[in-house]
Amino acid sequence: MKLLQRGKAKSVYASGDGTVTIEFRDDITAGNGAKHDVLKGKGSLLNAINEIFFKELSSHAVPNHYFESISENSFKARKVDIIPLEIVVRNYSAGSFCKRYGIETGKKIGPIVEFFIKNDALNDPLVCKDVVVKLNVSTIETLNKAEKLALKVNNVISEFSENHGLILADFKIEVGFHDGELLVSDEITPDTCRFWDVKTHESLDKDVYRQSVGDPLIAYKEVLRRLSS
């Protein structure tokens, strides 16, 4: 298969039939690649968690790129023209929100939607819709659609997670067009979401790695165990 793109933790291949194959590698990175490790088995864990969430979206008719898992660590998806934005939905304060606004972690703040332009050299700056439009990154119509889509994803994934003992504190999605339709793309995993234990608010996501407070594989296995039970 032809490699189309090698990201920090995933590789995208042309499947040959017009679809793409997305492979979760065992790489884990933080701080825009400043920290990097390889955790054996991480790719297959994320592939399994991602499958659960995208199937949940499909069962609620939320348009998305996912077809099916095709190996332990890869899945088949529609090829989309990705909009170079990270769309973040926050239910509880955490991460860059706390740093930016001087707020403590764990306050109910949402749902609120933020847009970040994907640009490693600029560290993905936070932008408002007007700036996205002025920079010709997207149109206001598409941004409004993307925002609605992100909030739908939040409803579906929050409820599902909570039913399995996990608070969805925040997450990031990417969206793209396929045949004129805006689809949720990329991944929905503990690499791109903050999951907290419902009772203790213990982190079960990439914060374990970002903050070096434990073994991320143990957290990811626990997320998969809960979502599968």
Q: Choose the stretch contacting ligand TMP; rule: CB under 6 A; options: 63-71, 144-152, 164-172, 218-226.
A: 164-172
Q: Which is nearer to ligand TMP, 10 or 194 (CB)?
A: 194
- C-alpha closest to that of 23 among 8, 37, 33, 38: 8
Residue among 183, 153, 156 at smallest CA distance from 66? 183
Nearer to ligand TMP, 185 or 192 (CB): 192
Q: Which of 171, 196, 209, 220 binds ligand TMP (CB under 6 A)?
A: 171
Question: Contact with ligand TMP (CB under 6 A): which of 53, 54, 97, 209?
Answer: 97
Among 44, 69, 96, 105, the residue binding ligand TMP under the rule CB under 6 A is: 96
Neighbours of 155 (CB within 10 A): 13
Taking the C-alpha atoms of residue 10 and residue 50, their distance in angstroms, rounded to an integer, is 13
Closest approach, Cβ 221 to ligand TMP, in A, equals: 19
DSSP collapsed to 3 states, 141-193 = HHHHHHHHHHHHHHHHHHHHHHHCCEEEEEEEEEEEEECCEEEEECCCCCCCE
Q: Decide if residue 194 touches ligand TMP (CB under 6 A).
A: yes
E runs forming strands in the chain: 2-6, 10-14, 19-24, 27-30, 35-38, 66-71, 74-78, 81-82, 85-92, 108-117, 126-127, 166-178, 181-185, 193-197
For residue 109, state whether it binds ligand TMP (rule: CB under 6 A).
no
38-67 residues near ligand TMP, rule: CB under 6 A: none
Instruction: Pick the piece of the chain touching ligand TMP (CB under 6 A) from 39-47, 64-72, 138-146, 166-174.
Output: 166-174
223 binds ligand TMP (CB under 6 A): no
Residue 192 touching ligand TMP (CB under 6 A): yes
Number of residues that bind ligand TMP (CB under 6 A): 13
Q: Give me the residue whose beta carbon is nearest to ligand TMP.
A: 95
**Which residues are bridge partners to 88 per DSSP?**
114, 172
State the residues that interact with ligand TMP by CB under 6 A. Answer: 86, 88, 94-97, 124, 170-172, 192-194
